[in-house]
Amino acid sequence: MTTPLLTLSDVSKNFGTNQALSDISLEVNPGEVLCLLGDNGAGKSTLIKILSGVHKPSSGTVEVEGKPVVFDSPKAASDVGIATVHQYGGTFPLMSVARCFFVGHEPTKGVWPFKYFDKKAAGEITVREMQKLGITRVTDGSRLTGALSGGERQSLAIARAVYFGARVLILDEPTSALGVKQSTHVLRIIMHARAQGIAVVFVTHNVTHAMAVGDRFAVLIHGKKADDFRKGERTREQITDLMAGGEAMAELEAELAELTGPVQTTP
């Protein structure tokens, strides 16, 4: 048994009286995709904000390779190789793709006070890294990020995380705003990162997307871990039911049946 890259033990988080997470325990391993599933407000984003140093847990511990850590800032988390693409944002629409790619990691040339941001190198690296991920339409680092499609922007954010040596890549609903084709693209990039031995935490509502790439799954309901399983241990229906809160789905079906009349199953 090797030590997991990331271990969460009994992590809770409350905002005032609002208990967003209670006693969550999880493990994240290199070369594995962990899918975090759950309904709106289940606490998925809160959980990954704890992993990425945005929030500190109210109680419980986070360990990196078996050593307990407390992240004081997102930078502290990224210093140990945890890169996060947050649900909203992560790219800057009015900045060029090269500027965007290197935010916080700008390559420099020359000596102080004439040290300058090497935009030529930045542009070349950005274009090259994006092309590696199949974004061939971007051939110039000075293109504005806002002119990219949603999928291309996600790819840019993922490309930069991978380039800067992420060991854990956390993606908060990267496919939620995307069409079928672009989602497939992002899923393929996830598999690409996984193949490089990166641990991926993939947050989604979409069971199909989760089942396509996930090795492990955790379902959150109202801030609690409702279930935790490996690939192939649950059927699609079981997962969908869990996400909708189990009985809730059956109730809904009954309700709908009442409204629309009984559903005819046989002609």
Ligand X SMILES: Nc1ncnc2c1ncn2[C@@H]1O[C@H](COP(=O)(O)OP(=O)(O)OP(=O)(O)O)[C@@H](O)[C@H]1O
Under rule CB under 6 A, residue 44 binds ligand X = yes
Decide the pairing of beta strands 216-221 and 82-85.
Answer: unpaired
Residues of span 22-81 touching another protein by CB under 8 A: 52, 54, 73-75, 78
CA distance 67 to 252: 45
User: Of 99 and 209, which CB lies nearer to Mg ion in the complex structure?
Assistant: 209
| Nearest distance in Å: CB 177, ligand X | 12
| Nearest distance in Å: CB 253, another protein | 35
Size of the site for ligand X (CB under 6 A): 12
Residues of span 75-134 touching Mg ion by CB under 5 A: 87
Residues of span 5-34 touching ligand X by CB under 6 A: 15, 18, 20
| Nearest distance in Å: CB 195, another protein | 5
By CB atoms closer than 10 A (0-12, 13-18, 19+), residue 140 is exposed
- In which residue are the tokens 């959150």 written? 220
User: For residue 59, which phi and psi values (nearest 5 degrees)?
Assistant: -155, 170
**Residue from 45, 78, 96, 183 in contact with Mg ion (CB under 5 A):** 45
Which residue's beta carbon is nearest to the bound Mg ion? 45
Handedness of CA 50, 54, 59, 61 (dihedral sign): positive
Point out which span in 42-50, 78-86, 183-191, 246-254 binds ligand X (CB under 6 A).
Answer: 42-50
User: Of 56 and 128, which CB lies nearer to another protein in the complex structure?
Assistant: 128
Cα torsion through 212, 167, 54, 58, rounded to 10: 90
By CB atoms closer than 10 A (0-12, 13-18, 19+), residue 212 is middle
| Site residues (vs Mg ion, CB under 5 A) | 45, 87
| Site residues (vs ligand X, CB under 6 A) | 15, 18, 20, 38, 40-46, 87
| Site residues (vs another protein, CB under 8 A) | 52, 54, 73-75, 78, 84, 86, 89-95, 99-100, 102-106, 108, 115-117, 121, 123-125, 127-129, 131-134, 136, 139-140, 143-144, 146-150, 152, 162-165, 185, 188, 192, 195-198
